[in-house]
Amino acid sequence: MNSIVTLFNYFDDWHGPATTALRIVLILAGTWIVQAMATRLIRTFRVRIAARMKGTEEVRRAETLGRVFRYLATVVIGLVGGVLVLAECGVSVAPILGAAGVVGLAIGFGAQSLVKDYFTGIFLLIENQIIKGDVVQVADKTGLVEDMTLRYVQLRDYDGNVHFVPNGLISTVTNMSRGYAYAVVDVGIAYREKIDVALDVMRKVAGEIAMDAAFADRILAAFEVAGVERWEESAIVLRGRFKVRPLEQWNVRREYLQRLKGAFDAAGIEIPFPHVTLYAGSDRDGRAPAFHVALTES
């Protein structure tokens, strides 16, 4: 009889901890299930929204917002699960929340830059200033946006370097990936060349590129000739531009300059280089012959 009583007391002693452990396990399992369901719902919602969007920019924006919402859902669900686990362990949650509020206020004053990063990141997403896949210039850094969170923007530049720019440092965003772009071309010719002839060659080369199957779908409008941009010490600079698809301005510009060099050579148009002409002064008749320098081998 005494052994039976002892056995019942043994189970009574373990009944409370076992129940608590079981509840904690259920809470953790429920947290994992809810988090998985939230992630799946956000992904499904993002896919459906992206399917209704026609532009590539809108699809990339939906992907960026979906990734941020998944992150927020994970943080919120994890915090709720942690609070429930602490309550099951007998830890009073109210004092912790009160202390967390005070500590959070102190941290807020000490970590204003971090708070600024998050608030700036929220507005960057809401206002659709930056999305994954854009080429942007922010905080004196230029590159392809590989990732974006509420705290930072991850850029990879042309050399392959990765820059992590805190959102709080972003005051101005220069986005080179929206709608269309211009491939601006400045070309220098010698002062002795005829400007109209050089402009005709520029238009001809531009037309050839526009008819090329490899570049026809990249160029959105006919080549625009602005004319004489400026006078330099050794050249007259002519300017023109192509209206192109986003991120194609560099490819079109390189191809155009390469072809234009051959066309100028064929037409005998001089692409100048810096040079200096020396004069000894003028005579009584106003003539000022230049020096003739002869190079001899020693």
**Which pair of tokens denotes residue 194?**
């005829």
* CA atoms lying within 13 Å on the CB side of residue 115: 9
pLDDT digit string, tens, across residues 93-112: 666 666 566 556 555 555 56
Lookup result for tokens 């000022």? 288
**pLDDT tier, 290 (very low <50, low <70, confident <90, very high otherwise):** low
**Alpha-carbon separation of residue 195 from 183, 235, 262, 269 (angstroms):** 21, 11, 18, 10
**pLDDT tier, 22 (very low <50, low <70, confident <90, very high otherwise):** confident
Q: Which long-range contacts (CB under 8 A, 24 or more apart) does 122-129 make?
A: 122/150, 124/148, 124/153, 124/167, 124/170, 124/173, 125/64, 125/65, 125/68, 125/150, 128/61, 129/173, 129/175
Which pLDDT does position 254 carry in this prediction?
95
pLDDT digit string, tens, across residues 56-95: 666 666 676 677 777 777 777 877 777 777 777 766 666 6
**Which pair of tokens denotes residue 195?**
């400007």
Which pLDDT does position 14 carry in this prediction?
47
pLDDT digit string, tens, across residues 254-286: 999 999 999 999 999 998 877 666 666 666 666
In DSSP terms, 155 is beta-bridged to: 145, 163
**pLDDT tier, 5 (very low <50, low <70, confident <90, very high otherwise):** very low
Domains of the chain: 2-110 (1.10.287.1260), 130-175 (2.30.30.60), 181-267 (3.30.70.100)
Q: What percent of the chain has pLDDT over 70?
A: 72
pLDDT digit string, tens, across residues 179-203: 899 999 999 999 889 999 999 999 9
How many residues belong to the chain?
298
Which pLDDT does position 11 carry in this prediction?
45
Q: Over the chain, what is the mean pLDDT?
A: 79
Q: 124-154 in b/e burial notation, b at 16+ Cβ within 10 A? A: bbeeebbbbbbbbebbebebbbeebbbebbb
Whether the Cβ atoms of residue 255 and residue 185 lie closer than 8 Å to each other: no
Pick 149 or 291 by higher pLDDT. Answer: 149
**Which pair of tokens denotes residue 48?**
């459906």
Q: What percent of the chain has pLDDT over 90?
A: 36
**Alpha-carbon separation of residue 129 from 78, 116, 174, 223 (angstroms):** 30, 17, 9, 29
Whether the Cβ atoms of residue 147 and residue 164 lie closer than 8 Å to each other: no
